[in-house]
Amino acid sequence: MTLTRCIVNFFIFCLLIPCVGSFYCFPNNYSQQDECSKVSISCLNCTFKESCQNGNKTLGTCTVLDHIECSGERTFKKEFDCLYCYQLPKSKYTCGRRDNCSSNSSPQARIITTCTVDAEVHCFGNRTFLKSFACNWTSGTRWSTAFLLSITLGGFGADRFYLGHWEEGLGKFFSFGGLGVWTLVDIVLVGIGYITPADGSLYIF
């Protein structure tokens, strides 16, 4: 039972570290040479007005945490955007992987992933939140390469192998491209973009 609990705790620790690390205050990052006013938001204790107009600037009073070393006034005024964390620009937070959905579905599929606000950014509400994105990722598969392979080595299934369609690739290889018919059909289908990468990603043109 003890071993099982240790294993569970280990996995929980590994899952939490990426999130905690994004907003936890690390004292070793600062010294007496650093100005207190430039300390990361994660190392400040800030108070704000009870209400502010969404999207506007708001002024808060911030105090550097006791265990942080810095120079200058430890309590100061700081201006922030009055935004909830999920309303921040995409450059202000980091999200999990978005490559486990199909970019070629119709209508376009969407994926929900977990996002965490960067340590130096202030916002209201939960710093970790769920966000929906359109599936429009690519794995680097080039349409030009697939089309060239279809024309030159399509009879051996090279185009299908390149796109990740292994079963069809083997079928073309052992049937000599369906005696040429399958090869011609695939040239057209690859050319118009009907056949896409098997992993659901988009082509690079």
pLDDT in tens, 23-73: 467 666 667 678 888 888 778 888 877 677 787 888 888 898 888 888 888
pTM equals 0.53
CA–CA gap between residue 121 and residue 117 (Å, rounded): 7
Answer whether residue 150 is part of any domain.
Answer: yes
Structural domains of the chain, count: 3
7 occurs within a structural domain: no
Same-domain status, 76 and 97: no
Range of the domain at 108: 84-137
Residues 35 and 74 in one domain: yes
**What distance lies between CA 163 and its chain's CA centroid?**
24
Residue 171 lies in a domain: yes
**Each residue of 99-142: pLDDT tens digit?**
777 777 777 788 888 999 987 788 888 889 998 888 877 788 88
Secondary structure letter of residue 203 according to DSSP? P
Task: Give every CB contact of residue 73 below 8 A, 6+ residues apart in sequence.
Answer: 36, 37
**Tokens read off for 110:** 């969407």
Report which of residues 46 and 163 the model is more confident about: 163
89 and 71 inside one domain: no
120, 163: one domain? no
CA distance 31 to 128: 29
